[in-house]
Amino acid sequence: MKSSVEALEGNKVKLVVEVDEVEFDTDVDQAFRKLAKEVRLPGFRPGKAPRKVLEAHIGSEFARQEAFRDGLPNYYVEAVKEHDVDVIAPPEIDITDGQESGPVVFDAVVEVRPSIEISDYNGFELEIPSPLVDEAEIDEQIERMLGQYGTLEDADRPAADGDRVSIDIEVKHEGEAVDGLTADDYLYQVGMGAVVPEMDEQLTGASVGDELSFEAAHPDEEEEEPLHFSIKVKAVQETVLPTPDDDWAKENSEFETLAELRADLNNQLSRTKISQAVVAQRNAAADKLVELTNDDDVPEALVTMEFENRVQDMSMRLQAQGLDFEQFLQFSGQSRDDALAGLRDQALHSAKLDLALRALAGQENIEVSDAELDEEFSKVAEQVGRPLEDIRQEFADAGQLSAVRSDLQKSKALDWIIDNSSMVDEDGNAVQATDLEEPEDPPQPAASDQQQSESADADTETQADDAGSEGDDE
């Protein structure tokens, strides 16, 4: 097979492919093999009739047409790989020679990914969530931990938000008691909003012995008559938290002191916030680049390709969860049109970002070396437990080397944008690149004397066992 490529107007190229007669005859022969399974001839079992017999009965024209349908797409793909054509739409194929016999020549006109130019991309200001941890956030974590060990004690004061009150409650609707809302000694947390808002409003500020009577709208909008509440407050209890000190930390964590526990919480929060900030940083840089790309720069075929990829990806993810698209729509509360419109918006954003990153890589001479390519293949090889050479060859055979190189190039282009941008948090405070570096692991808690003693005993037993085994061997 021989092929050449010619640039056309309108973001298209024409591939001219020539297949010699001997090579194409293998496709014709394969077509006859398929026909032999479908055509019934006297004296031959299905699939066993020779080609010459079939040609004598049905001629060669039909088989040649089958060979065109089955073989030409493969020759087209080979030509695309050979010339590294970045196609974004199906080709228009026109057979120009060899319709009846001899070598086959065909043209494949196909739309390709366009090249654009961008400007004003240097010096973005990227807004990200603060990656820094303040003491108040650690205090909140400590408060949550303390809440797990809190105890309820009677409070000699009116009820406040968060208190638990013991109440006798009776709720009537149209003179009839409401099932589930009539009980004695019912323990209720003020402010939780579990019944109606009016109930929390009435209980806030109530004292032991108070009798409350009020009405509230029925939760069912179709019910016109209100609910009538009668409540007697029998007890007000508050949650008393333990004192956060070294003894509490030692008893309820793996750490010996409160300072060590706070340091560990700081480390965990820092890692989480840095991870979130890094993701937000890349998203913000991508959004800035997308803003530099006009919708007119993006061919509809590229958006369609991105859209179809997203639909397929969603389908696979839903299938993995045992769901179909209709069930997803029910759970998400979206209409089909809204869901598909959202996917198309994502596709347009992705297509614009793709073109902008490629443009930036070209304008800033950002390249990907063979060593960087091999590093990427090494990651894949390690994941699947196979040699690097095999993985590289598989990508080459599939014509995916350029795609992998392009993905790495776009990633480096996004890194370039980040390196040449400033960062601020949501309050406008400057964020430095060093603020996004992973924190060092804090010192591990030292083993207690008992643990050290148990470890030493275990080592002694192991040594004794080893000595016994050596004696047995002798």
Q: Tell me the pLDDT tens digit for each residue of 439-462.
A: 877 666 555 444 555 554 555 454
Which range (92-96, 258-262, 293-297) has the least confidence?
A: 293-297
Mean predicted confidence (pLDDT) in 372-397: 93
Asked if the model's pLDDT at residue 60 lies above 80, the reply is no
Tens-place pLDDT, residues 215-264: 999 988 888 899 999 999 999 999 999 999 999 999 999 999 999 999 99
In this prediction the pTM is 0.76
pLDDT for residue 445: 58
Better pLDDT: 66 or 58: 66
Q: What's the CATH code, domain 151-240?
A: 3.10.50.40
Pairing of strands 422-424, 125-127: parallel
Pairwise CA distance, residues 34 & 36, whole Å: 5
Pair of tokens at residue 128 = 């990200």
DSSP 372-417: HHHHHHHHHHHHHT--HHHHHHHHHHTT-HHHHHHHHHHHHHHHHH
Q: Which residue has the tokens 């026909």?
A: 35
DSSP 8-state assignment for residue 443: P
Percent of the chain with pLDDT over 90: 75
* Other Cβ atoms within 10 Å of 284 Cβ, number: 20
Compute CA 368 distance to the chain's CA centroid, rounded to the nearest angstrom: 26
pLDDT for residue 474: 41
- The alpha carbon dihedral of 340, 346, 348, 351 has a sign of negative
Three-state DSSP class for 193?
coil
The residue extents of the domains of the chain are: 2-111, 151-240, 252-436
Pair of tokens at residue 356 = 């902008």
Tens-place pLDDT, residues 151-163: 999 999 999 999 9
Q: How many CA atoms lie within 13 A of 289 on its CB side?
A: 30
Mean pLDDT of the chain: 89
pLDDT tier, 471 (very low <50, low <70, confident <90, very high otherwise): very low
CB 307 within 8 A of CB 95: no
Mean predicted confidence (pLDDT) in 402-406: 94
CB 51 within 8 A of CB 32: yes
Q: Residue 206: name the closest of 244, 163, 248, 255 by CA.
A: 163
pLDDT for residue 46: 61
Asked if the model's pLDDT at residue 40 lies above 70, the reply is no
By residue count, the chain amounts to: 474
Tens-place pLDDT, residues 317-356: 999 999 989 999 988 889 999 999 999 999 999 999 999 9
Pairwise CA distance, residues 242 & 262, whole Å: 16
Superfamily of domain 2-111: Trigger factor ribosome-binding domain (3.30.70.1050)
Mean predicted confidence (pLDDT) in 112-131: 95
CB 17 within 8 A of CB 1: yes
Pair of tokens at residue 452 = 């050290």
Three-state DSSP class for 85?
coil
pLDDT for residue 36: 60
* Ramachandran region, residue 15 (left: φ > 0; alpha: ψ -120 to 50; beta: rest): beta
Tens-place pLDDT, residues 163-177: 999 999 999 999 999
Which range (41-55, 102-116, 402-416) has the least confidence?
A: 41-55
Q: Could you say which of 1.10.3120.10, 3.40.50.300, 3.40.190.10, 3.20.20.140 is the CATH number of the domain covering 252-436?
A: 1.10.3120.10
CB 395 within 8 A of CB 405: no
Three-state DSSP class for 124?
coil
Q: Residue 358: name the closest of 31, 86, 15 by CA.
A: 86
* Ramachandran region, residue 122 (left: φ > 0; alpha: ψ -120 to 50; beta: rest): beta
pLDDT tier, 469 (very low <50, low <70, confident <90, very high otherwise): very low
pLDDT tier, 108 (very low <50, low <70, confident <90, very high otherwise): very high
